[in-house]
Structures are given as C-alpha cells and as structure tokens.
C-alpha cells in the first residue's frame, strides 16, 4: 500500500462558540497534541484549536520528520526519550497509520573532537535507557556502502555514532491523527481563523480570551503554539520572548532506486539525509543566518547542502532536485524549548522548537496538557520553563540540535 491509497481524515467542523475551557492558538503538531492529550488523558474536551491557515500548514508539515533522542544532557534525554517512546506507540494509540519507520540515525565522525563529544553523548544516552553506539570506520562502511569514506579526500570518516531508535514518520499523518483524536472527543478545530489580539483582564495580569477574524472567543486558559510567529502573539500579552525567527530550508530529489536505510548526518558538514517512503532523498541543514519571516527558498542553501551531501554520498550526483521549501523556526538562545506557565495568569506557551520540534510533539503535548489541567508545571518540562533565563539556568546542549 502506498501513502495515498488510504482512508481520508475525518474531521468535524463547528461554528466557533463564545466560550471554551481552553483555547489553543496554532494548529501545528504541538497545539494539536496538547488538544489530543487534554481530551484523552484529562477528559477536557471543551477546547478550540485556532489555526490561521490549515492544520499542519506550518513547520509541522514542512519538516524532515526525524525522530530521535540522542541528546547530551539528562533533562533533554528524559524529555526527548519520553517523546520517542510515545512515538513508538503512537500508531497503536491513535489507531492511525503514521508511516512510522525505525531506521537508526548514523552521525559520521570526521575528527577527534567529534569522537570525544560523541562518546560523552553515548554515555548519557545509555544512562537514560536509549541505545547509542560508537562504530568503527569499517562498521560505518559496511552499514552505508554508498559512502565515500575519504569524504572527497577532505573529510575522512573515522567512525560513526549510531542512535538505534532514530526514526521517521509522515508529518501530515501525525498532525491529522492528533487532530482527529481530539476532534472525535469533542475538541473544535477552526481553520482559516487568525488570532489578531488577546483579550486581557483590565490590569493585564490575566488572559481572558482571543480576538479573531471570526469573532471573540473566551477561555481562562490559552496556549500559544504558533511556531515562528510566537513573538507577535506573546507581545499581545505583554510578554517578551527570547526568540528569533529564522527560515529553515529543505529539499527532496527524485527517487533513488535502492533502499537507503539509515538517516545519515555529518557532524562536520552539517547536513543530514534520509530516504522517504517514495524513495526520494530528503535533505536538510541549519537555519538561514539572517532572521526573517519569509518563506523564500534560495540557491545558496541548495548549493551548499547538495555539495556536502554529494561529497559524502557520490551517487547523489545523479539525482535531480524535485522540490525545495522553507519553514519559519522559533530559535531559542539555548536551542531548547520554552514550555508551560508564564507570568500572565492562564497564558501558556510552547515555543523554542527551532529545527528540532517534530520529534518532541507527543511529549510536549502530554506535558502541556498536564500543566493546563492541573495548573502546575509538569515535572518533565520543569527545566524548560521561561523562568530559566532569569534564573541563569539555560540548557547547555547546543550540539544536540545536530546541525551546530
Ligand atoms: C525544513 C524544516 C525541517 C525540520 N526538520 C525537523 C526534523 O527532522 N525533526 C524535528 O524534530 N524537527 C524538525 N523541524 C522543526 C519542526 O518542524 C518544528 O519544530 C515543529 O513542527 C514546530 O511545531 P509547532 O506546532 O510549534 O509549530 P507549527 O507547526 O509551525 O505550527 C504553528 C501554527 O500556528 C499558526 N499560527 C501562527 N500565527 C497564528 C495566529 N495569529 N492565529 C492562529 N494561528 C496562527 C501557523 O499557521 C501554524 O500552522 C524542521 C523544521 C523545518 C522548517
């Protein structure tokens, strides 16, 4: 069966109500997962997800779908480890085919510095129950015979870092399954509905609802999960976020006839590649250096990323680029998410997802739902609160983004 020969998404559409218990701004993976877990774990179903375009139209439908938990510090390991565990169960949980595929993620090491940091990371991973092994150069060559182990004579591969749980899933399907699950239990999803302002208490200390192009809606709990547009929406609550929005590009080629099993990334050349279910080679790298809100995809990125990929995988020279696209990433200073309670009563955030948020969708949805339901920051996301910047407790895990 291919990905198009399958049932359609079943969503029910509703007229907006005047009042909800919870309003979620943003119909990306994080907003939808929070609605899903509110409904399935806390029986909170008087919920509206408000999306200015269509669900999954932001980064959650534009990413390269890599799921992994090979993080370098315990706080991140626990959080992403939980997310990967939830992903492994998500098809069963939602009763939907998400095209989830465990592949293993192989990072190529080109230097002693790569090796030292990888050994450290492998120890942290196994300490928290996730399997990451250091491979010798011959083991890497056996695993990916297509590799030029000399790296074009410039970037010789001295070993690899194999994270066994590395996987991919079809992004749209993840979004739709979560939307369906929440919607089936009563959550409303309003597409083409833009939040233009927040309704605040007179003294500005509490959120009361949202002002949209389809009218005002009231709720005592509002979650802002709007990806790269976060600073615009949080400023409506008088909150400044330590976030910069940077475009991130990706592209796919035509299909490669052989099975290319693992996800392969280079720690030095800053690119990664995997094969889609259709056989296309899907590639990405790091964000554009200049902050911006435009979706322009450019030749510069294509040239650099393709050059790096072809250096390591010469067969890619024969492939053709089919599509290139861009998303807007909410980059936090410590490359970690900012989650949960804020100084504004009833106003919650899910941001700082940058280039790494697809893999975190289930765990963040689960923890944010618990935070909204109980009024207490859920344990797993306590280290990721907005208050960490004032307390000087930022996360020291920049290397785990995979493209730094
Ligand atoms: C090219 C690319 C590749 C990536 N690859 C990976 C990867 O391999 N692995 C990984 O883990 N992560 C990856 N990411 C990052 C990941 O996609 C994001 O971190 C994640 O999808 C963020 O989800 P979100 O729900 O927070 O935001 P989004 O999916 O962007 O959703 C936010 C939604 O809010 C809506 N919105 C904005 N403003 C308003 C408003 N005023 N009113 C109503 N709605 C509004 C938007 O339309 C949007 O649909 C990648 C990102 C990109 C761009």
The pLDDT tens digits for 222-268 are: 999 999 999 999 999 999 999 999 999 999 999 998 899 999 999 89
Which ligand 1 atom is the nearest neighbour of the CA of 53?
A: 47
Mapped onto helix, strand or coil, the DSSP state of residue 222 is strand
Q: Return the pLDDT at 345.
A: 98
Instruction: Report yes or no: 328 and 247 within 8 Å, Cβ to Cβ.
Output: yes
Cα 190 to middle of ligand 1, angstroms: 17
pLDDT, tens digit, 9 for 90 and up, residues 159-209: 999 999 999 999 999 999 999 999 999 999 999 999 999 999 999 999 999
pLDDT tens digit string along 390-400? 999 999 888 77
Q: Which residue minimizes the CA distance to atom 2 of ligand 1? A: 63
Give the C-alpha separation, 169 to 90, whole Å.
10
Q: How far is the CA of 12 from the centre of ligand 1 (A)?
A: 23
Architecture of the structural domain at 105-164+244-331: 2-Layer Sandwich (3.30)
**Ramachandran region, residue 235 (left: φ > 0; alpha: ψ -120 to 50; beta: rest):** alpha
Q: Give the DSSP letter of residue 363.
A: H
Residues 2-7, mean pLDDT to the nearest whole number = 54
Q: What is the pLDDT of residue 402?
A: 62
Q: What is the pLDDT of residues 300-340, one digit of tens each?
A: 999 999 999 999 999 999 999 999 999 999 999 999 999 99
pLDDT for position 3: 53
The pTM assigned to this predicted structure is 0.97
Mean pLDDT computed over 123-128:
91
Q: What's the rounded Cα separation, in Å, for the pair 398 and 361?
A: 19
* Best mutation site among 16, 23, 26, 384 for ligand 1 pocket (most ligand atoms within 8 Å of CB): 26
State which ligand 1 atom lies nearest to the alpha carbon of 225: 26
Distance 269 CA to ligand 1 centre (A): 25
**Is pLDDT larger for residue 114 or for residue 144?**
144
pLDDT tens digits, one per residue of 53-96: 999 999 999 999 999 999 999 999 999 999 999 999 999 999 99
CATH number of this structure's domain 22-64+171-242+333-401, picked from the four choices 3.50.50.60, 3.40.50.300, 2.60.40.420, 3.30.1330.10: 3.50.50.60
Alpha carbon of 19 to ligand 1 centroid (Å): 27
Name residues contacting ligand 1 (CB within 6 A): 25-31, 50-53, 57-60, 62-66, 194-195, 225-227, 229, 233, 248, 250, 284, 327, 329, 350, 353, 355-359
Does the structure show a pLDDT above 80 at 6?
no
Please give the pLDDT value at position 404.
57
391: phi then psi, degrees, rounded to nearest 5: -85, 0
DSSP structure class, residue 345: B
Domain boundaries, given as residue ranges, for the chain: 22-64+171-242+333-401, 105-164+244-331
Torsion angle of C-alpha atoms 275, 175, 71, 394, degrees rounded to 10? 140
Ligand 1, residue 272: give the atom nearest the CA: 8
Beta strands in 1-103 (DSSP E): 22-25, 47-50, 66-67, 101-102
């Amino acid at each position: 069966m291919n990905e198009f020969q399958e049932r359609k998404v079943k969503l029910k559409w509703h007229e907006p109500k005047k009042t909800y218990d919870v309003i979620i701004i943003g119909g990306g993976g994080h907003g939808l997962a929070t609605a899903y877990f509110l409904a399935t774990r806390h029986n909170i179903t008087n919920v509206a997800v408000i999306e200015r375009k269509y669900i999954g139209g932001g980064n959650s439908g534009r990413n390269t779908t890599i799921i992994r938990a090979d993080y370098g510090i315990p706080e991140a390991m626990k959080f992403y480890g939980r997310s990967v565990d939830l992903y492994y169960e998500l098809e069963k949980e939602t009763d939907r085919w998400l095209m989830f595929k465990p592949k293993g993620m192989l990072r190529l090491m080109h230097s002693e510095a790569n090796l030292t940091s990888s050994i450290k990371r492998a120890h942290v991973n196994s300490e928290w129950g996730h399997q990451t092994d250091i491979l010798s150069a011959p083991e890497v060559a056996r695993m990916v015979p297509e590799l030029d182990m000399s790296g074009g004579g410039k970037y010789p591969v001295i070993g690899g870092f194999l994270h066994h749980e590395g996987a991919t899933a079809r992004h749209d399907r993840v979004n739709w399954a979560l939307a369906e699950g929440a919607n089936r239990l009563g959550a409303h999803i309003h597409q083409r509905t833009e939040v233009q302002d927040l309704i605040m208490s007179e003294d500005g200390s509490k959120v009361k609802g949202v002002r949209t192009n389809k009218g005002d809606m009231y709720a005592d709990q509002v979650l802002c999960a709007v990806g790269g547009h976060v600073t615009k929406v949080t400023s409506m609550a008088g909150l400044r976020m330590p976030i910069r929005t940077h475009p991130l590009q990706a592209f796919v080629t035509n299909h490669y006839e052989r099975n290319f099993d693992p996800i392969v990334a280079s720690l030095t050349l800053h690119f990664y590649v995997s094969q889609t279910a259709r056989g296309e080679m899907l590639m990405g790298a790091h964000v554009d250096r200049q902050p911006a809100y435009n979706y322009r995809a450019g030749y510069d990125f294509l040239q650099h990323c393709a050059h790096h990929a072809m250096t390591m995988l010469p067969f890619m020279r024969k492939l053709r680029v089919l599509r290139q696209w861009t998303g807007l990433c909410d980059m936090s200073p410590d490359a970690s998410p900012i989650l949960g309670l804020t100084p504004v009563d009833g106003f919650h955030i899910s941001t700082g997802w940058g280039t790494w948020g697809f893999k975190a969708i289930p765990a963040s949805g689960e923890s944010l739902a618990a935070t909204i339901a109980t009024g207490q920051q859920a344990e797993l996301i306590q280290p990721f609160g907005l208050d960490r910047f004032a307390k000087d407790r930022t996360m020291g895990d920049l290397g785990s983004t995979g493209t730094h």
